[in-house]
Amino acid sequence: MANTPQAKKRILRNAKRTEINRARVSRIRTFVKKVESALAAGKKDEAKAALAAMQPELARGVARGVLHKNTAARKLSRLTRRLATLG
């Protein structure tokens, strides 16, 4: 358990940051799922719009430090490739 005031403060701050970061990751996953569901349904226009909305969310996740840069690039690349092969 934390003994110093500094350690106690860090525990509280870490809990707040964890909650915020979980929300950010959850939001990003929601955007990715929208693209994946549109691709699975074969709706190219809907998937294209969802991909355009997902891209800045991924970039924001990288900027905030909740996603690794290469992870975001890989997700975007794979979904873009799936969109290109669709109909």
Q: Which CATH superfamily is domain 5-85 in?
A: Ribosomal protein S20 (1.20.58.110)
pLDDT value of residue 18? 98
Beta carbons of 28 and 66 less than 8 angstroms apart: yes
Q: pLDDT (tens digit, 9 = 90+) per residue, 4-46?
A: 999 999 999 999 999 999 999 999 999 999 999 999 999 999 9
State yes or no: pLDDT of 81 exceeds 80.
yes
What is the pTM (predicted TM-score) of this model? 0.88
State yes or no: pLDDT of 87 exceeds 70.
no
Return the SS3 of 57: helix
